[in-house]
Structure 1
Amino acid sequence: MIQKVRNFTDSTNFSNALKVTLASAIPVLLFSYTGNFQIGFNIALGAFLTYPSDIPSNRKHRINGILVAALIVAGNNLVVNLLYPQPWILYPAMAAMIFFFSMISVYGQRATQVSFSALLSICLAFGHIHEGWEMLQYSGLMLVGGLFYLLISLTFNYIRPHRYIELQVAECLRLTSKYMKLRGDLWKIDSPREKIIEKQLYLQVELNTIHENLREILIRNRTHSNGTSDQTRKLTLVFISLLEILELALSTSFDHSKLHQKFADHPKVLATYQNLAYNLASTLKAIFKSLENHKKYVPKHSLLKDLEALENVILAYEQELGKEKASEGVWMLSNMLHYAEKQIEKIKIVERAFMPNFNSNDYRGRDKNLDKLMTPQYYPWSTFRENLSFSSTIFRHSLRLTATIMIAFLLGSLFPFQNVYWILLTIVVIMRPGYGLTKERSFHRIIGTVAGGLIAFAILLVVHNHIIIGALAITSMILGFTFTSINYKVGATFVTIYVVFVYGIITPNINDVIQYRILDTVVGAGLAFLANYFFWPSWEFMSQPIYIKKSIEANRDYLNEISLFYNNKGEVTTSYRIARKNAFIEVGNLMASFQRMSQEPKSKQKQVQQVYKLAVLNHTLLSSLASLGTYIQTHKTSKASEAFNVVVQTVTKNLNYAITFADLELSGTLAQSEPNEDLAMRFTELKNMRAKELKEAHLSEDDEYQLKMQEAQLVIEQLVWLTNLSESIVKAAKLLNQTK
């Protein structure tokens, strides 16, 4: 329990909650002591509204984001106060501001958080209307609050500059370990393989998010002062190794059914390998635990001994059956052994990074050109303009949010709600572009608000000391912000407790506060839920063709880069790495889209099985491409044959067909492709590669001969598999088009 509490308080969520709580509580406590509570409250409000824009990145972007948010928060408050006396100007201006600030989300995660701060500030401005000099003073104090939060944030970063990166790397270790554990589960004879593969696909979505976070904080930071520290170099090396471990795991697939059948009479062989597979995962998990808990890493598994045990059982198998009879089985087991050797090599690098006396200079060069993999951060007006159409999910969401808030204003003028701005805040906090998340957050918000209101009311019936209530309010605020991104229901409960406690200190009518807060929350959640269903809904089936198209395009581009590398040899190019990264991301995005669809009403889950099939096919295609690419990178290969290039062209052609079908716009415009007789001849040519090699005198040496045969076999198998997969993708995309 002590360790769990320690991990909780050491988490990024708790750290962020502590920052915003300190930035909000210090001004209130300080100015209340001098009798100027309102000044402290205004500063605290500015800090609270600026907080959402503080997302991890390099220092420059982080400071700029917080400063922009602070200025927007103060500016919005001033505009609302200036226009409030003229409602015929106020409401059109509010609609335009809400739409604009919602639309800036098209510029990415940081812009989305700044947008959230801006929308919150517009809503809260209606809770505190001022006139004359007071409105300028009030807005100025909010700006001070934003700047004070920036100071607090930079102080935290100075005290623990690397902790966020360490926790993100730890999370990456945990997820990669989980992925490796699932691969080990596949070796069970009765394992539910389809379910395990589905879990791996969902896990890929989580890994993509962590990878993007680490690229942002590690790679972009390399141009700044803390980007060149030993700790940052070490964590960058670990991140690169984890990417390679995942790619190698994805690129190496085994026919488990065939292997179980082949070694049914020799169960010790596969049991030994499965034990090694589990220990690979356990080693990464142990490193994760040591990093998370601030403990010295002590290896629990001897992977080299496990590898030696596998070598021994392979040798025993060969001796038992005889070299000739065991040749096929030994070849299969040798592939498994080779995979394990490569994984152990990479895991050992991660292990050494957390050992004493580790020198990151020994691995210099592995992180070169990483900055070229990052997407440049700029905000062209053209991006905003291109999204001003109903084909844009953000545009639909912006219209929906604007209309819903304006309806809330109308309801506020027709019915005697005490705090209309609470309804507005609930709408902004709950409403998301997707139906599923909005529905979930609506119910969680209502449950959390009711539970929090009842708990706070019960405590206030017993406790009347303002100091105790204030301490409980601060504690509730910390817990509320900590749990908001972990468990929204629990987070909403603590936030409600905090709000009720604050009102319990400043107003005697606490019963009314609780009743109105619950009522306003229910109304706001109801409006958000209904609006997402009826106002320009963005059902996932509407955007899935885009995700399908992008995933196929990314795989096609990755294949083309592999082909170029195989033909030209040399160093791995930046364009190759970018294509590989994009392929992983886009396949993950497609699976994330499928996840969102599964949360929508059954009537809106159109072609759900077909979409899932395409997601699995694209993931399998990526696995095959990664296998081919990894082999070419890690082996000295011969010159690419003409047959190889013809097959690659055919696979590319198939994927281009699939891309066109996935568009769902050109139905019936493409003729069905004829069987490629030349392709069949090329496969025959490829299969004859072994026979040709036998006639080459300079390959008489056994080791060199085996390497050539291994290359020929793997390349042939992957090309046949790629062709079959590309044809399956064409059929699936065509069927998706026909049933739209």
Structure 2
Amino acid sequence: MTLKEYITSEDTESAFRFLVGAALPLLVATGLGYNELGIFMLLGSTFVFGIDIPIALPKKLGFMVLSGLLSALIFLVFTQVKDFPVLNGILLFVTLFILNFLSPFSSNFSIVALLLNLSVMIGLSMANTIPTWAAALPKAGYLLLGSAWYTLYALLLHPLQRPRQLRRRLQECLRLTADYFAGQAALFDPDVSRTETLLVLSRRQADVVESHQQIREVLLREPMNITNPETFMGRATYFLANLVDLIELATASAWSLQAVPDHAEEEGAVPLLRTLNEYVVSQLRQLERQIAHEDRTLAEPMQDENAEGTLQQLTEYLNGMKARTPSGQESAEEYRQLRRLQRYFEQQLLLLRNMRDVMARRSARLDLATDRIRQFAIRDTIGWDYLRSHLSFKSGFFRYALRMALTAVGAYYLAVGLGFEYPSWALLTVLVILKPGFSLSKERLAHRVYGTVVGVLVGLGLFYVFQPGTLASMAIFLGSQFFAFSFVKRQYAVTSCFFTLFVLFFYSYLHLEFMDAAFYRLLDTVLAAGLCWLSIRFVFPYWEVQNLPTVVKESLRADRSLLKNVLDQVDADALALTNYKLARKEAFLKMDDLLNSYRLAQIESPGQTEVLTTIQRISLLIYTQLSLLLSLGSFLKRCPDYRWGDSRVKGYLQEALQGVDSLIGNEERTETEQDEIEQNAYGELAIRRREIDQLLLENSERYLSRVHDLFWVESAFELMEITHKLRRMMQLTPDARSAK
């Protein structure tokens, strides 16, 4: 990372915003002689700063108020229960368990839980100096005042920072989408492994889907008109809709692209397809550059003409191929695959033109019901039934919360028993190290120890060389806090180092013994890190590989819902695109969860090659299944008037749907029954393909309607085959619970 990238990054901007907002009341109060008020307002600002992130205003306000109120309440309670060891221990365990049980359900819940964990630690650390409720209440009021100030400060800045945050996310989404298309080019190369290419594409798609979610976080719940193309927020809505449709088409085309290089007949089409794919990449890169500065400059006319010319060449090539196709099934299949890809590229070029038109403020097209757009926003809610389903040792969330609470309470009371001067630091170390996943916890543990050791050494050097006074100590701890927050997402070891400096010079500012603070900071960290290492290994361990069967089923359920939606759309009088796109979004998100879980399992359990290989194959099969479903959805958008002309076609799709049901436990089906269904489907498929070959040769008017039916039957058969392979893979999956 260059210095320019660091200075202009969102994390650095966020840290600077906190430095100004939190230091201002500290400096004003200190200047007026109210040092204690300034310190507590700084802490109160810290309790809500973590929520000052790129999310919509109503959500930001709600989480800030919640975090501020609960932090003050928790601080108040834990300053007063320390003299009652049993009550203190029970409250500490219950509070930590509840906070950390809820935290994995949402990234925003996780942030609030971390801030509330911090308030527990601060309450315990100050309990000796705040012996009575009368002394505690004013300080809790100061915390609330600091929280209220920073909340107001954040709300005032929100309209200014929102466009910058949104622009960054659109740029990132355009870059990731371009990377996806660039990786897709490997499918044109017969010498490149298809399995590896599809795995790379599925991972890149997961990155793109995550970027879509980040845009939705900033955009879709704002209390304003988000469909007016004359505003930046409105244009962002149109951009997002087109970008999601673009990745849908790319995913849908993966099914057909896999077969392209295998046929010598298609060699003439491959260079044209590759050129069109390169054009899409270049246009996305250009849009990324343009949106950075709200540049309305359009693409060079020559580029557009070249793309249109290439598309025309592909059309003429396919027209010629159709005319010379012999009466062979393979040639007809090749022709239909290429014709499908031609239509996909036509739609992709149209979406690119839509985005350029939005950029130029010429026109804007949105195929969604504008009054339902906000349904695509992220909702941080937990249903009671879903929550209750995780109150079990089978749940990784439950095990994590129990492990966190037991380890943190154990670290705190062990530090107390050993006579450590600041035992709450051991508790905080556990709270920041332990994460739901093993690999992240292990990484955090190492970074925490390295960063603390370096921070203590640097702090001792600064203290003895410069002998800083009160103002100098304030400057150092504020500067350290700024750098700690600016690196928190990039490199936790650096963050840990600066937080150590913050703590040491904060205590120096309070005129507490510097050497004691340094010694116990290091000692508490080492003690807590040792307990964390034992904990992640032996206290209700839950490895990511154990979560894989669950996320596989969730992804299959989402695909099943998408297929059901597509079939319902054909039966309906009119195409309900919004309903389809909501189902599509859920399928994308669940596929993203599956791939992320698989990646974590690879890191945590690299030695379990049999499990990982099986899950990799399952993931790729589900990715191919999603590609097929999206190809059906794309067909409906292109041909919204299509209806079942033959009841048998719908029957085969219903059989495919029931096959997916059998995978997720909604329907029991024997292997023999499944084989019989697939054999019947394959026989029907062969008959229909021969019919299409003949109609193609005769140039019959019936060709188009019959080839549309064949497309659905082929899709049903492919879905059945994928279901058959998935069933075998899921039966062969070794018991992951014996992983460690």
Deviation track 1:590-629 (CA, whole Å, cap 9, x = no partner) reads: 1111112122245778722222211111111010111122
Would you say 1:722 and 2:726 are equivalent positions?
A: no
| Distance of 1:380 and 1:564 partners within structure 2 | 27
User: How many angstroms does 1:331 deviate by?
Assistant: 5.5
| Distance of 1:8 and 1:265 partners within structure 2 | 48
Q: Which residue of 2 aligns with 1:447?
A: 450
Q: Which residue of 2 aligns with 1:200?
A: 201
Deviation track 1:648-691 (CA, whole Å, cap 9, x = no partner) reads: 22222322222239x9xxxxx97433355465445444554477
Would you say 1:499 and 2:508 are equivalent positions?
A: no
User: How many angstroms does 1:26 deviate by?
Assistant: 1.6
| Structure 1 pair 448–204 and aligned structure 2 pair: CA distance change class (3 A) | farther
Aligned counterpart for 2:405 among listed residues 402, 406, 430: 402
| Structure 1 pair 655–97 and aligned structure 2 pair: CA distance change class (3 A) | same
Q: Which residue of 1 aligns with 2:423?
A: 420
Does the 8 Å contact 2:318/2:339 carry over to 1? no
Q: Which residue of 2 aligns with 1:260?
A: 261
Would you say 1:652 and 2:652 are equivalent positions?
A: no
Which consecutive unaligned segments of at least 5 residues does structure 1 have?
664-668
User: How many angstroms does 1:241 deviate by?
Assistant: 0.4
Does the 8 Å contact 1:373/1:574 carry over to 2? no
User: How many angstroms does 1:263 deviate by?
Assistant: 4.7
| Distance of 1:546 and 1:86 partners within structure 2 | 43
SS of 2:420's equivalent in the other structure is coil
| Distance of 2:505 and 2:338 partners within structure 1 | 66
Query: In the alignment, residue 634 of structure 2 is paired with which amino acid?
Result: T
| Distance of 2:699 and 2:321 partners within structure 1 | 22
| Structure 1 pair 672–480 and aligned structure 2 pair: CA distance change class (3 A) | same
Does the 8 Å contact 2:421/2:520 carry over to 1? yes
Does the 8 Å contact 1:272/1:309 carry over to 2? no
| Distance of 2:320 and 2:400 partners within structure 1 | 67
Does the 8 Å contact 1:11/1:167 carry over to 2? no
Could you tell which deviates more after superposition, 13-22 or 500-509? 500-509
Aligned counterpart for 1:524 among listed residues 522, 528, 539: 528
| Distance of 1:183 and 1:90 partners within structure 2 | 58
Q: Which residue of 1 aligns with 2:341?
A: 336
User: How many angstroms does 1:74 deviate by?
Assistant: 0.6
SS of 2:671's equivalent in the other structure is coil
Q: Which residue of 1 aligns with 2:250?
A: 249
Q: Which residue of 2 aligns with 1:288?
A: 288
SS of 1:84's equivalent in the other structure is coil
Deviation track 1:36-93 (CA, whole Å, cap 9, x = no partner) reads: 3222111101111222234443322321211111111111111011212222322222
> What does residue range 563-642 of structure 1 map to in structure 2 within 5 Å?
563-568=567-572, 570-572=574-576, 574-602=578-606, 607-635=611-639, 636-642=641-647
Does the 8 Å contact 1:53/1:117 carry over to 2? no
Does the 8 Å contact 1:473/1:502 carry over to 2? yes
User: How many angstroms does 1:389 deviate by?
Assistant: 2.1
Could you tell which deviates more after superposition, 197-206 or 678-687? 678-687
Would you say 1:23 and 2:27 are equivalent positions?
A: no
User: How many angstroms does 1:187 deviate by?
Assistant: 2.4
Q: Which residue of 1 aligns with 2:673?
A: 674
Deviation track 1:357-414 (CA, whole Å, cap 9, x = no partner) reads: 4454x65856452234457665555554443222232221221111111211221122
| Distance of 2:103 and 2:190 partners within structure 1 | 48
Does the 8 Å contact 2:415/2:524 carry over to 1? no
| Distance of 1:31 and 1:428 partners within structure 2 | 31
Does the 8 Å contact 1:561/1:576 carry over to 2? yes
Does the 8 Å contact 1:24/1:47 carry over to 2? yes
| Distance of 1:412 and 1:145 partners within structure 2 | 31
| Distance of 1:192 and 1:691 partners within structure 2 | 31
| Structure 1 pair 564–365 and aligned structure 2 pair: CA distance change class (3 A) | closer
User: How many angstroms does 1:555 deviate by?
Assistant: 1.4
Q: Which residue of 1 aligns with 2:274?
A: 274
Could you tell which deviates more after superposition, 628-637 or 212-221? 212-221
Query: In the alignment, residue 160 of structure 2 is paired with which amino acid?
Result: I
| Distance of 2:88 and 2:321 partners within structure 1 | 87
Q: Which residue of 2 aligns with 1:486?
A: 490
Q: Which residue of 2 aligns with 1:707?
A: 704
| Structure 1 pair 640–37 and aligned structure 2 pair: CA distance change class (3 A) | farther
User: How many angstroms does 1:309 deviate by?
Assistant: 4.1
Q: Which residue of 2 aligns with 1:537?
A: 541
Q: Which residue of 2 aligns with 1:156?
A: 157
Q: What RMSD in Å do the two structures reach over aligned CA positions?
A: 3.5
| Structure 1 pair 33–624 and aligned structure 2 pair: CA distance change class (3 A) | same
| Distance of 2:693 and 2:97 partners within structure 1 | 71
Could you tell which deviates more after superposition, 709-718 or 619-628? 709-718
If the length of structure 2 is used for normalisation, what is the TM-score?
Answer: 0.88
Could you tell which deviates more after superposition, 368-377 or 406-415? 368-377
Could you tell which deviates more after superposition, 153-162 or 678-687? 678-687
User: How many angstroms does 1:252 deviate by?
Assistant: 0.8
User: How many angstroms does 1:283 deviate by?
Assistant: 1.8
Q: Which residue of 1 aligns with 2:437?
A: 434
Does the 8 Å contact 2:188/2:260 carry over to 1? no
SS of 2:71's equivalent in the other structure is helix
| Distance of 2:322 and 2:136 partners within structure 1 | 91
| Distance of 2:322 and 2:244 partners within structure 1 | 40
Deviation track 1:402-458 (CA, whole Å, cap 9, x = no partner) reads: 111121122112223232121111111111112111111111222222233334444
SS of 2:216's equivalent in the other structure is helix
| Distance of 2:319 and 2:58 partners within structure 1 | 64
Q: Which residue of 2 aligns with 1:46?
A: 44
Q: Which residue of 1 aligns with 2:100?
A: 102
| Distance of 2:187 and 2:682 partners within structure 1 | 31
Does the 8 Å contact 2:104/2:397 carry over to 1? yes
| Structure 1 pair 379–459 and aligned structure 2 pair: CA distance change class (3 A) | same
Would you say 1:67 and 2:65 are equivalent positions?
A: yes
Could you tell which deviates more after superposition, 705-714 or 490-499? 705-714
Aligned counterpart for 1:32 among listed residues 30, 33, 37: 30
Query: In the alignment, residue 281 of structure 1 is paired with which amino acid?
Result: V
Would you say 1:11 and 2:9 are equivalent positions?
A: yes
Query: In the alignment, residue 289 of structure 2 is paired with which amino acid?
Result: K
SS of 1:673's equivalent in the other structure is helix
| Structure 1 pair 503–383 and aligned structure 2 pair: CA distance change class (3 A) | same
Q: Which residue of 1 aligns with 2:241?
A: 240
Query: In the alignment, residue 305 of structure 1 is paired with which amino acid?
Result: E
Does the 8 Å contact 1:181/1:277 carry over to 2? yes
Deviation track 1:483-517 (CA, whole Å, cap 9, x = no partner) reads: 21222233323333333444455558544433432
Q: Which residue of 1 aligns with 2:732?
A: 735
User: How many angstroms does 1:556 deviate by?
Assistant: 1.7
> What does residue range 280-359 of structure 1 map to in structure 2 within 5 Å?
280-292=280-292, 297=297, 299=299, 302-311=302-311, 313-314=313-314, 323-324=323-324, 333-355=338-360, 357-359=361-363
| Distance of 1:352 and 1:441 partners within structure 2 | 46
Does the 8 Å contact 2:546/2:736 carry over to 1? no
| Distance of 1:248 and 1:632 partners within structure 2 | 12
Q: Which residue of 2 aligns with 1:666?
A: none
| Structure 1 pair 701–255 and aligned structure 2 pair: CA distance change class (3 A) | closer
| Structure 1 pair 254–469 and aligned structure 2 pair: CA distance change class (3 A) | same
> What does residue range 102-141 of structure 1 map to in structure 2 within 5 Å?
102-105=100-103, 108-129=106-127, 130-132=130-132, 133-141=134-142
Does the 8 Å contact 1:307/1:337 carry over to 2? no
| Distance of 1:244 and 1:204 partners within structure 2 | 13
User: How many angstroms does 1:549 deviate by?
Assistant: 1.3
Query: In the alignment, residue 716 of structure 2 is paired with which amino acid?
Result: L
